[in-house]
Chain A
Amino acid sequence: MDSVAQRLSAVGAGAALELRGVTRLFGALAALTDVTITVRPGERRAVLGSNGAGKTTLFNCITGDFPPSSGTIRFFGEDVTHFPPYERIRRGLRRTYQISALFPGLTVQDNVYLACRGVSRGRFSFLRPGQNDALMHAADNLVQAVHLTSVKDQHVAELAHGQQRQLEIALALAGAPRFVLFDEPAAGLSPTERTELIEILTSLPAHIGYIIIEHDMDVALRVVESVTMMHNGRIFKEGLPQEIQSDPEVQELYLGGSHE
């Protein structure tokens, strides 16, 4: 099969992300079966599929939150299959969570500052950041970029849902990300907030590739150049957005299926 991944990886020099035969078992249940995906640097891809298709498990395998039961994962050529999550993150991988995973007891500013600190040196520093601290400024810029400057000294627990989703994205963009996994970033957002989200995604520097899990096809297909369909823990189909949208099997399975 002449998949998009194969076509694209033939063109690009090295893959940003390369999964070979990744399987993840939970007891007897196979959440992922023999998943092979290649994503080139800077590529933007959507992963679609109904609930339980294995999309989030795929993310958890890539980041190492749950290591795969078998198979290999390479990140920019390096075999990271057995790396702990933090080692993968320090190499430029980032992710967001479907259900916001923030630090409710800290302020917005401190949340973003931690994200900046996590991918730089001095994680164990006992010295408080000064007024001209470079990471504090980096955090300020990120807070500004996701439109949260007006609430940056508030505790995260006090934020509205949409603001928490924006913060969730800011945390994933700290430092120098090379590849980002967005897990349903538009979940629960208002139409205005969705527009802002699309703006943030499309304005990311071109070298930052990402995979986005998104049920809202309007969002997903506007911000990606390729699509992977998953079903029952397997790759079901790969292609360009318009190919996938017009594919009768996909419509039967996913678009039609969701209205059953």
Chain B
Amino acid sequence: MSLAHDARVAVHPAGVAQRSARGWPEINNPAAWIVAAILLIMPLIANGFFLIEIFATTLILGTMALSLMFLAGYGGMVSLMQLTIAGFSAYMVAVFGVSGNANISLGWPWWLAVPMALALATIFGTLGGALAVRTEGIYTIMITLAIGAAFYYFTNQNWAIFNGHTGINTVATPHFWGVNWRADIPFYYIVLAVAALCYFAVEYVSRAPFGLALQGVRDNPRRMAALGFNVNAHRVAAYAFASFVAALAGVLQVWNYRQISPGSVSVGACIDILIIAVVGGITRPIGPFIGALIFVLLRTFAIDFLVKLGLDGNRFRLLIGLGFLAIVFWSSDGVIGLWQSWWRRQRSGAARSSGRHGRGSGQGSGQASGQGSGHG
């Protein structure tokens, strides 16, 4: 046997099929098609309140948390500044675009202000990332938290650009082709399109050389360098990509609320994004959206629930905190992990009662359908 010429093997056709199916697990998953269909016809089912306050908000927060999932799940870098990047992008839309604060806003049309905001926020996040990649683990968390906190206090105190603690109000939203794109139904579809784009982009990249290399960096940075990769450059590029995703979500956020103020970029809000991602599960791109839905539902309805119990409605965070504790206690992979282990148990239980396939086969198919994005 010789390494140089002997090993010219035809790729096993089943292997190819399996590889492409693993690349896009949704294609073989009926549940994914059902969810996609429901999301598309949502305006027929849900009223304006549910459409915007629940689903659009979920998708926006989910997209922010998705940018954290990309960094943490694939890159092993827990960044607490993803909301800050989104907030920076939101502020830039308000500053360059049209708002009620005419002394600050430059009045650019949205199609100029938005690319400008995306570019500046991506640069901001990339520079922050370039600082953060010099550290590992808890120090990355500390540096990114420090950037988030610094930005929060800066927006509070800077009046020339960020208008201090009052923030920038009555931010204009796009009107073109005779459509008010901030009306409930058009805005829902914009948010859905952007969130879906980001979701599929993250999933696609996870199987592309860049994403695979990022997972390699997560698993063993030293070996990656010994394979010819510039590890820090890869990490900074990952921050750039994640920053762009967060910046897109920031634009949607400022259009959603039509205002942006320091309260939206507080340290508490930064940590909410981390909680959303961890509760949902950070090993797959769907996790952050599940986490965001749980978060938004709790935030919206826990108040009524708590008041019925005779408690202070503002204590909804207590519920979120308890849920967070429960989930990290029982599953390191968030709600997805809980669901998957339950599903796997069902499968192996069914297999055992049918008496043929062992645990191995149940596990194998669990991975084939669930594990599209190189789970760690």
Contact = CB atoms under 8 A, between A and B. Distances in A.
Interface of A: 63, 65, 84-86, 89-90, 94-95, 97, 101-106, 109-111, 113-115, 117-119, 122-129, 131, 136-137, 140-142, 144-145, 149, 152-153, 171, 173-175, 199-200, 203-205
Interface in B1-30: 1-4, 6-9, 11-12, 15-16, 18-20, 23
B3 A203 contact: yes
Given A118-B227, A125-B209, 17 more contacts: A65-B226, A85-B225, A85-B226, A86-B228, A95-B226, A103-B220, A110-B374, A114-B216, A118-B228, A124-B213, A128-B204, A131-B16, A141-B9, A144-B7, A145-B1, A203-B1, A205-B3
B218 A105 contact: yes
Nearest to A96: B226
A200 B2 CA distance: 7
A94 B3 CA distance: 16
Contacts of B226: 63, 65, 85-86, 89, 94-95, 97, 101
A94 B208 CA distance: 24
Interface residues of B, number: 44
A174 B227 CA distance: 9
Contacts, number: 139
Nearest to A171: B227
B67 to A, nearest CB: 16
A123 B1 contact: no
Interface string B207-249: 1111011011011101111111111001001000000000000
Contacts of A131: 11, 16, 20
Given A129-B209, A153-B18, A124 B225 contact: no
Nearest to B211: A126
Interface string B184-224: 00000000000000000000110111101101101110111
Given A117-B209, A126-B208, A103 B223 contact: yes
Given A125-B209, A129-B209, A144-B9, A105 B215 contact: yes
Given A103-B219, A129-B209, A153-B18, A203 B375 contact: no
B223 A101 contact: yes
A127 B213 contact: no
Contact of A140 (B11, B20, B208, B229): B11
Given A123-B213, A126-B205, A205-B3, A65 B222 contact: yes
A102 B225 CA distance: 12
Contacts of A97: 223, 226
A212 B205 CA distance: 37
B301 to A, nearest CB: 37
Contacts of A106: 212, 215-216, 219, 374
B209 A122 contact: yes
Contacts of B23: 128
B205 A105 contact: no
A175 B11 CA distance: 19
A105 B219 CA distance: 7
Contact of A125 (B16, B19, B208): B208
Q: Sort A-B residue pairs by CB-CB distance and give the 8 closest, nearest first.
A: A105-B376, A118-B228, A118-B227, A103-B219, A101-B223, A89-B228, A85-B225, A144-B7
Contacts of B6: 145
Best-buried of A90, A102, A110, A173 by chain B (most CB within 10 Å): A110
A101 B223 CA distance: 6
Given A105-B376, A106-B219, A140-B11, A114 B208 contact: no
A126 B210 contact: yes
A149 B8 CA distance: 12
A65 B226 CA distance: 8
Contacts of B219: 102-106
A68 B169 CA distance: 59
B207 A128 contact: yes
A118 B224 contact: yes
